[in-house]
Amino acid sequence: MGDKAVRSVGTASYDALAALMLQLRFEANLTQDQLAKKVGRHFTWVSKIERGTRRLDLVELCEVADALGLDPAEIVRRFRASVGK
């Protein structure tokens, strides 16, 4: 039949990423709406990422990092540390 698609949303790793994104927003002292406006999105976009119901691609990760005043590599380092890599 073919290969079954691998889903990341809903996995333990993706849950860790969602939790990290929430933590980073809190550390920046921003509301979902404030962060969303900084990246030109609706607050529900941020909410879905933080709840782990929406995937975050590399371009979006860089946009969020810029809005938070972080280097995207720092977000990746913190994510990998949170999942034990």
pTM of the model: 0.86
d(CA 8, CA 1): 22
Residue 48 is assigned to a structural domain of this protein:
yes
| Type of residue found at 68 | L
The verdict on residue 23 lying in a domain is yes
Q: 45-57, pLDDT tens digit by residue?
A: 999 999 999 999 9
Residue type, 72: P
Residue 3 has pLDDT above 50, yes or no: no
**Structural domains in the chain (count):** 1
49: CATH: 1.10.260.40
Residue 49 lies in a domain: yes
Q: DSSP 3-state helix, strand, coil percentages of the chain (rounded to 5)?
A: 65, 0, 35
Per the domain annotation, does 6 fall within a domain?
no
Domain coverage including residue 47:
12-82
Give me the DSSP letters along 8-68.
-TTSHHHHHHHHHHHHHHHHTT--HHHHHHHTT--HHHHHHHHHT-S---HHHHHHHHHHH
Whether 5 maps to a domain, the answer reads: no
**Residue-wise pLDDT tens digits, 32-82:** 999 999 999 999 999 999 999 999 999 999 999 999 999 999 999 999 999
Question: Does residue 65 fall inside a structural domain?
Answer: yes
Residue 58 resides in a domain: yes
